[in-house]
Structure 1
Amino acid sequence: MKILKHIRFFLILLVFYSCSGNKKEAIGSMVREWIGKKILFPENTLFITYDGKDSVDFLSMKSDYRIVTYVNSEACFSCTLRLPFWKEFIMEVDSVSLDKNIPILFYFDPPNKSDLYILLKRYNFMYPICIDEEDCLNKLNHFPTDMAFQTFLLDSDNKVLAIGNPINPQVKELYLNIIQGKQLGRENKSKHIITKVSIDRSSVSMGSFDWQEEQKSAFTLKNTGDKPLVIQDVTTSCGCTTVAYSKEPLQPGGATTLEVVYKAERPEHFDKTITLYCNTDNSPLTLKISGDAK
């Protein structure tokens, strides 16, 4: 019964995905497939900190919930880790958990362990991780190929209660509500204040430039609805791209600017994505920057 309840809860989130009806149907089918499925873990898995000072057998820990996230080496590894976000999320989970003992299982399959250790040290990420060089976890479970659906909230029997990356604010809210035992239902949808937004452009070309020179650009957002516009989060596809924006609610008719800074790590042609989460029907919104760092 608990599993069936969370299927209904999670399907509510489909209203937050700005995609076609066919894609929503595909997401819904995938969610129904995974909710209630038991995640299998490789035997004798240990989690260690990057400096080797700590090792944890998370799989033997007793807890009502656990979260497992999987990152492989097929995409830009530094872009997909989002370590600062996970540090904040771990603190949020600890703050709402009654037993303060919900393990978060990080399975990383990095293209280069040395680069991973550099990233962990750069962000002072001391939470234990598992380096899964043989990709054993994925081979046991055959995860969805979409990185947005390679994170799972599990019950004490390792059965999936919810699926999705909590970088998405609505997914994070769902995870935290389940952990707190809050009841979710269709009535919650009406509590979300929805407005409308227009953007002056969806993509920016920064042209050609010396790769050592920082590049700046901007997107202008206007609240075209009749309710305050709230930017809940902005994520980027790479650590080389940062975005500054106001966290204050934008009143109807008002405008605000997303200030984008790109700092190349090497000479390259780039196409980077900025994902904007806000209280609109078409959230999340996708913006792009491109150019040639020479």
Structure 2
Amino acid sequence: MKKTGIFLLLLSLLAACQESDKERLTRLVQEWDGKEIAFPAQAVFTVQGRDTVDFRWQSAPYRIVTYVDSLGCASCKLQLPKWKQLIAETDSLFGKEKLSYVFFFHPKDARELTYLTRRDGFTYPVCFDREDAFNRVNRFPSEMALQTFLLDKDNRVVAIGNPVHNPQVKELYLNIIGGKRSATTGTKQTSASLSERDVQFGSFPMGEKKERKVTLKNTGDAPLVIHGVDTSCGCTRVEYSQRPLRPGEETTLLIIYEADEAGHFRKTVDVYCNTADAPLRISVTGEAVSN
């Protein structure tokens, strides 16, 4: 059975991939389409790692399920402030009865995850899956973009992709939950250029805020619309105007980096817009030196 999530996810994920990567991602998305997700029988949910709660998500007709493994930067992967914004948005659109969220975190350090949920004021129930049981019963793909799913009432995958990292996936999820079953595709494509794609801040003292202006120009013959900007870490943010750009117009993306730990860093900024090669990726590198 063909699902509406396949086409859009492939468009958003494959643009910058090598051919071998495209083939593998296509195979994975098709493999998971319509698959039933299994849940561990003894999953324990807590709020900020302290209070165990009787969490029942099965009554909602839709659920967004995300799995986060223990590899790499936990804060970058979790993006808890963005999940808070999405939960608030969907609650206002659909109510809590139509959609539930199910979070499984496999912690390398449970204390770090507890700290992050408290630091970010994240009060939604989560499962600190210390034994990685959720992943063991499902064997999720290793790509972070393919570890979040929109499920129906039977726990079958309706769409796949991370809505807090990819605005197009978010649009797809909201449309399906709202009954449209597809994403908006009527925006005419154009072309765009960036003044630089490699922002290098060099070495600087820890605690110093770094900023760089990057120019985005509409080089095509249709209006350029920025659907959203995603960063790989909460320590990087972007200020920009959402006003559509007419052909030939330019706008400024202000990239702001505030290190949360000392050391060398490599972050990414993805600009989602109506171009064939979207997202437009900017690499942000440097080294924060402790005082």
Instruction: Return the TM-score normalized by structure 1.
Output: 0.90
> Counterpart of 1:175 in structure 2: which amino acid?
Y
CA contact (8 A) 2:6 2:30 kept: no
CA displacement, residues 174-226 of structure 1 (integer Å, 9 cap, x when unaligned): 111221221438xx53x123221101111021122222322221211111112
Distance 1:99 1:112, change over 3 A: closer
1:173 aligned residue (159, 165, 171): 171
Query: Residue 39 of structure 1 aligns with which residue?
Result: 37
Quickly say closer, same or farther: Cα 1:268–1:41, change in 2 above 3 A.
same
The alignment covers a number of residue pairs equal to 286
Q: Superposition pairs for residues 165-204 of structure 1, below 5 Å?
A: 165-167=162-164, 168-184=166-182, 189=185, 191-204=186-199
Could you tell me which of 7, 10, 32 is aligned with 1:11?
A: 7
Write the distance in 1 (CA, Å) between the matches of 2:228 and 2:208: 27
**Residue 145 (structure 1) aligns with:** 142
Could you tell me how far apart the structure 1 residues matched to 2:96 and 2:252 are?
Answer: 42
Instruction: Answer whether contact 1:11 1:31 (CA < 8 A) is retained.
Output: no
TM superposition shift of 1:86:
0.9
Tell whether the 8 Å contact from 1:66 to 1:103 is kept in structure 2 after alignment.
yes
Equivalent residue for 2:256?
261
* Structure 2 residue aligned with 1:97: 94
Aligned to 2:131: 134
User: Which AA in structure 1 matches 2:205?
Assistant: D
SS at match of 2:230: strand
- The residue correspondences of 1:18-29 to structure 2 (distance < 5 A) are 18-19=15-16, 20-29=18-27
Code of the aligned partner of 2:12 = F
Mean CA deviation greater in 93-102 or 151-160: 93-102
Identify unmatched segments of 5+ residues in structure 2.
none
- What stretches of structure 1 of length at least 5 have no aligned partner? none
Matches within 5 A, 1:50-69: 50=48, 52-53=50-51, 55-58=53-56, 61-69=58-66
Residue of structure 2 in register with 1:241 after alignment: 236
Which of 70, 76, 80 in structure 1 is aligned with 2:77? 80
SS at match of 1:103: strand
Indicate the SS of the match to 1:229.
coil
Q: How far apart, CA to CA, are the structure 2 residues paired with 1:229 and 1:88?
A: 25
Contact 1:45 1:57 in 2 (8 A): no
**Aligned equivalent of 1:160:** 157
Distance 1:176 1:260 in 2: 28
Q: Per-residue CA shift, 1:49-80, capped at 9, x if unaligned?
A: 11644613335x32222111011110200011
TM-score (norm. length: structure 2): 0.91
1:98 positional shift: 6.7
Query: Over aligned residues, Cα RMSD in angstroms?
Result: 2.0
